[in-house]
Chain A
């Protein structure tokens, strides 16, 4: 059962980067943004996708599981914290294991950094920085009921398919209400998007 969390709706994202700027203001990683904003079909559409940590629940936090130094703590409320700087050895296992491409690494500082759901704010009941500033509601913080009260007819999914494996997460994505199957985590054999070939499948370099 989802509690208060972030709901991501890429369909509403206008790629304005407000979330990226706001994330930099977060006290636990001042000056560095932990949110990713990508343009999956750059040059052809204005589609953009914000990515925060999905706080995987099952399997619970693959980043923490592959950490050789036990540096990534999952708090009782299900939030996957950024690496404990005392323990992190900067091996990048978490960066490469995360199927969502979330953690960042500073190789000089031997330190991983990632979105911690603005723990300094959310643990006091405040919305994360990104959701606070998002002008279109592409990043919404609240409960499913609050989301559906504002947006009738939408549903959310916390199931993501990576090949044959389904990962369930603490952060959800908005999906059409008739969708029952997991959201694809990315199709490695995706050969075209919106009728055009993808890189490696005939697209111009």
Chain B
């Protein structure tokens, strides 16, 4: 069995973390725009970068993932594929990663709830990370006026009126994200308690903790706004620490639990592109592997070859069976049982 490349993974992960620190220092103009109150968030994001890269490196070093990773990137970066079907990759990214069409095929309710969590988290991440790294700053355009300017790396992006809808939306972006996430998480928590399909084999650490973490972050975040608007800031400091602790713990946990699917899921695009491009190369008859017994198509020739190579890597000595469809494999086994174990099933 291959050993995971712990040393190499640690070095690459450390290098990425150092790069992130450098980017934070440079992006916040030598820490001039860096908000020291947000240090724990920034530190957690550096840990997150280390954890994600480390786990990713270990993951793609396993035989099956490594081969698919290579084929996926080869298809994505192939100039020939780009020329032949330039829209294939962007379309797959939009349908698989953005709108998650496959989830709709599993259940419409789960798709809706997951979309709420997905877009809510994406919005929150797009706001939080640049803010805590000191990349986004807001400066007033005049001493008296309601005008504000949003800057990225010190450069003005656009100006807006703080009393306008855009101003309101910008300052309540995280509240909007929290409302979306709470909606989605609420449905999934209900499902985890009531749905027998979901409760079979579910584990607290894997299935509940991520939902509870998202819920804690969203609720404490909303309570901060509530404290500011209705309690004149009462309990704000305690809530801020509670919110910070929940975010930091979640970010540090992200690479090791269910949340790692965020990093793994793009492999679906690589896999799909690999099969799609193989199919487009020639006629279906040439590029589809037909079952050696019944002639039904099994998969693309390239995918079956890739699988057989993976099986040989893993020393699974029956890769020849991959050229038979599942039904023929069962029928062959049934026939052999009939012919040699219990002759005529007597």
Contact = CB atoms under 8 A, between A and B. Distances in A.
B106 A183 contact: no
A10 B342 contact: yes
B85 interface: no
Contacts, number: 221
A184 B340 contact: yes
Contacts of A67: 64
A187 B332 contact: yes
B314 A66 contact: yes
B258 A86 contact: yes
Nearest to A174: B342
A108 interface: yes
B142 interface: no
Interface string B325-345: 111111111111111111011
B329 A99 contact: yes
Contacts of A142: none
B196 A92 contact: no
A21 interface: no
B346 interface: yes
A78 interface: no
Interface residues of A, number: 76
B337 A163 contact: no
Given A62-B316, A179-B341, A185 B310 contact: no
B326 A68 contact: no
A69 B264 contact: yes
Contacts of A120: 196, 199-201
B208 interface: no
B334 A89 contact: no
B336 A91 contact: no
Nearest to B1: A65
B317 A68 contact: no
Interface string A1-14: 00000000011000
Interface of B: 59, 62, 64-65, 67-69, 96, 102-103, 105-106, 196-197, 199-201, 258, 261, 264-265, 267-268, 271, 292-294, 298-299, 303-304, 307, 310-311, 314-322, 324-342, 344-346
Interface of A: 10-11, 27-30, 36, 38, 40-41, 45, 47-49, 51, 59, 62, 65-70, 73, 75, 81, 85-87, 89-93, 95-104, 106, 108-111, 116, 119-120, 123, 160, 162-165, 167, 173, 175-176, 179, 183-188, 190, 192-194, 198-200
